[in-house]
Chain A
Amino acid sequence: MRVLEAQRLRKTYRSQGKVLEAVQDVSLELSVGEVLAFLGPNGAGKTTTIKMIAGLILPDQGWVSIAGRNPHRDSRALRSLGAVLEGNRNLYWRLTPQENLEYFGVLRGLTRRTARQRGQELLERFGLADKRSTTVQTLSRGMQQKLAIAVSLIHDPQLLLLDEPTLGLDVEATQTVKQLIREIAAEGRAILLTTHQLDIAEELSDRVAIIQQGKIAIEEPTSELIRQFSGTAYTIELEHPLDSEKVSKVKELGGTFQGQLIYVRESDELYQILDVLKPLPLVRVYRDQANLTDIFLKLVREKTLG
């Protein structure tokens, strides 16, 4: 089932005679349980797009539908949406986690009783139960971010917008937040995630959309994108060094050496080289995989240069 549909969103800002085309014809779709990593360099239009989806910025053109409702026309659409926005506290610092959850629960349309009950469940689940009565301003940055995510889930939304959820977190807190996002997606929620930490995007996302200068440069399933950008080269790791006879045979077949590693350019050569190595013990044989960071940089540079 499709939870989010954004079609041909366009936003232009005019300020002091300058025209900035922040977002141009951006279309995004998300189904139940899907995680879309929405990537792009700073100023590419990620946050503007996310805020247009959330109904916080009015698009010049295009439309948004969340669970069948347009958030710009029908505020009931916001019942299906939770958001943690970048650079914001998203919480009342003078209130405790429990009080924040209850307040925002009612603000999102729950009764106090339901908000309290859901709040308690979320505090337990997010490991914040022992901090329920501490004011938010005294919590660590990681705990505040976990709480912001908990608050965004208080009304059980189908769609979650997470704008840079791991920004400014230490390694441990990043791991915790990553785990939480994984769990939330597994519950069947659709998640639109922006992040500069591409390893997180690679690990968590089903699909990747890269936005560059306001336009979607590429949108593919994550595994497909990685496959496309991965070469046909292989690496063979040996347990012991080879004798000189085998080394020269491997080199004749096109293999190159670095210590106990043999690099092979094509899969045809791989089997011939493996025949030469037989029956020596190998540590592993693997295909060189591109990662999202390489792909992102390649796409962004290509686009910038040409």
Chain B
Amino acid sequence: MVELFLAELRRSWIQLIRYSTEAIGGIIITTSIFYGLFLSAQYIAGPGLQFGDRLDAVVIGYVLWTLVLFIMSDIAGGLQNEAQTGTLEQLFLSPFNASKVFLVRAIASLTIQITLNISILLIIIAITGSQLSFPPSLLLPFITVLLGAYGLAFAMGSLALLLKRVQQLLGIFQFALLFLLSVPTETWVGSGRIFALLLPMTPGAGLLRDLMARELGLNWGQWAIALANGVVYFSLGLFLFRQAERETKRRGRLGGY
């Protein structure tokens, strides 16, 4: 298993470095979009306005969103690409079962996604003057967001296996993700708040904003809820993926495009 993880790590880093223009392009586009939005917001608000921790909260939402988009396109888009190019069936010929292979692969490429994301975050901080704090405890809610993100990515991956073409769906879905990650649901009250706790990744994203933008301490009760949320979505995603694998093999459409 460790050997497989290392092999996946090598495979993904080699491809990233060999075709680094794609990654650099991704970083430039993602940060320019944010900078464009930032400049528009500044123009609307007028020159004297100070964004304060609201800017920081938006930065966290945006960077998390890009991370989740990368993870989503890595798994669901990757599956679609491999079905298209013909390596997908070879992956299913592995004595490790397919969901294990894809999970190990996802964890291995997380190192890439995080590196790219930290670059994006640093550039955004540099151009907007955002002042985020980075307490070590941020890792805990971050893990819950990742669990949710992988859950959703595997659910989308299931659709990629079944339908083969998910690019358009991914395009639409990214707006829903933007809502989930950037709306400050932690400030909601009453039934809206309870509803927000059930949405994927939102409890963890809220906690990250509390920790990094508002510089509050970690609320362990909230974290337990965020963790449960992450675990549920992650398990659901893997379950759907296994079902989709079986259904695709039943339909005989694993390699077909």
Indicate whether A48 sits within 8 Å of B18 (C-beta atoms), given known contacts A91-B87, A112-B7.
Answer: no
Name the CB-closest residue of B to A155.
B95
Contact residue among A56, A94, A111 (Cβ-Cβ distance under 8 Å from B254) = A56
A residues in contact with B254, CB < 8 Å: 51, 56-57
Contact with B along A7-25 (1 / 0, CB 8 A): 0000101000000001000
Q: Once the chains are docked, how many angstroms separate the CA of A81 from the CA of B14?
A: 28
Q: Which of A76-114 touch B at CB < 8 Å?
A: 76-79, 81, 83, 85, 87-95, 99, 102-104, 106-109, 111-112
Q: Which of B229-255 touch A at CB < 8 Å?
A: 246, 249-252, 254-255
Q: Once the chains are docked, how many angstroms separate the CA of A302 from the CA of B50?
A: 85
Q: Which of A50-64 touch B at CB < 8 Å?
A: 51, 54-58
B residues in contact with A90, CB < 8 Å: 86-87, 90
Output the least CB separation between A272 and chain B (Å): 60
Q: Does B10 contact A (CB under 8 A)?
A: yes
Q: A102, B89: Cβ atoms under 8 Å?
A: no
Q: Once the chains are docked, how many angstroms separate the CA of A111 from the CA of B7?
A: 10
Q: B95, A76: Cβ atoms under 8 Å?
A: yes
Q: Does B115 contact A (CB under 8 A)?
A: no
Q: Does A75 contact B (CB under 8 A)?
A: yes
Q: Once the chains are docked, how many angstroms separate the CA of A7 from the CA of B66?
A: 50
Q: Does B44 contact A (CB under 8 A)?
A: no
Contact residue among B3, B89, B252 (Cβ-Cβ distance under 8 Å from A106) = B3
Name the CB-closest residue of A to B6.
A112
Contact residue among A13, A58, A88, A111 (Cβ-Cβ distance under 8 Å from B89) = A88
Q: Does A135 contact B (CB under 8 A)?
A: yes
Q: Does B85 contact A (CB under 8 A)?
A: yes
Q: Does B11 contact A (CB under 8 A)?
A: yes
Contact with A along B1-29 (1 / 0, CB 8 A): 00110110011001100110000000000
Q: B87, A106: Cβ atoms under 8 Å?
A: no
Q: Once the chains are docked, how many angstroms separate the CA of A99 from the CA of B12?
A: 11
Indicate whether A92 sits within 8 Å of B87 (C-beta atoms), given known contacts A48-B252, A51-B252, A58-B249.
Answer: yes
Name the CB-closest residue of A to B19.
A94
Q: Which of A27-60 touch B at CB < 8 Å?
A: 48, 51, 54-58
Name the CB-closest residue of A to B253.
A57
Q: Which of B89-106 touch A at CB < 8 Å?
A: 89-97, 101
Q: A107, B94: Cβ atoms under 8 Å?
A: yes
Q: A56, B15: Cβ atoms under 8 Å?
A: no
Q: A88, B86: Cβ atoms under 8 Å?
A: yes
Q: A54, B86: Cβ atoms under 8 Å?
A: no
Q: Once the chains are docked, how many angstroms separate the CA of A161 from the CA of B215?
A: 60
Contact with A along B109-152 (1 / 0, CB 8 A): 00000000000000000000000000000000000000000000
A residues in contact with B4, CB < 8 Å: 106-107
Contact with B along A162-204 (1 / 0, CB 8 A): 0000000000000000000000000000000000000000000
Indicate whether A58 sits within 8 Å of B246 (C-beta atoms), given known contacts A87-B86, A99-B11, A107-B7.
Answer: yes
Q: B87, A78: Cβ atoms under 8 Å?
A: no
Contact residue among B11, B18, B85, B86 (Cβ-Cβ distance under 8 Å from A103) = B11
Name the CB-closest residue of B to A22.
B252
Q: Once the chains are docked, how many angstroms separate the CA of A48 from the CA of B254?
A: 11
Q: Once the chains are docked, how many angstroms separate the CA of A135 from the CA of B89?
A: 21
Output the least CB separation between B17 and chain A (Å): 11
A residues in contact with B6, CB < 8 Å: 106, 112
Q: B92, A56: Cβ atoms under 8 Å?
A: yes
Output the least CB separation between A160 and chain B (Å): 12
A residues in contact with B19, CB < 8 Å: 94
Q: Which of B3, B19, B92, B95 has the most CB of A within 10 A?
A: B95
Q: B250, A58: Cβ atoms under 8 Å?
A: yes
Contact with B along A199-215 (1 / 0, CB 8 A): 00000000000000000
Contact with A along B55-76 (1 / 0, CB 8 A): 0000000000000000000000
Contact residue among A48, A56, A103 (Cβ-Cβ distance under 8 Å from B10) = A103
Q: B95, A57: Cβ atoms under 8 Å?
A: no
Q: Which of B7, B10, B97 has the most CB of A within 10 A?
A: B7
Contact residue among B85, B86, B95, B249 (Cβ-Cβ distance under 8 Å from A85) = B86
Contact with B along A232-256 (1 / 0, CB 8 A): 0000000000000000000000000
Q: B7, A95: Cβ atoms under 8 Å?
A: no
Indicate whether A81 sits within 8 Å of B86 (C-beta atoms), given known contacts A13-B251, A111-B3.
Answer: no
B residues in contact with A11, CB < 8 Å: 252
Supplied contacts A56-B249, A92-B87, A112-B7, 9 more A-B pairs, CB within 8 Å: A55-B92, A56-B254, A75-B94, A77-B95, A81-B93, A83-B93, A85-B89, A94-B18, A103-B10
Q: List 20 A-B contacts (CB under 8 A).
A: A13-B251, A56-B89, A57-B252, A58-B249, A78-B93, A83-B89, A85-B86, A85-B89, A87-B86, A88-B85, A88-B87, A88-B90, A90-B86, A92-B11, A93-B85, A103-B11, A107-B90, A109-B95, A111-B3, A135-B18
Nearest 10 A/B pairs, CB to CB: A88-B86, A106-B7, A57-B252, A89-B86, A58-B249, A78-B95, A58-B250, A107-B94, A75-B95, A94-B15
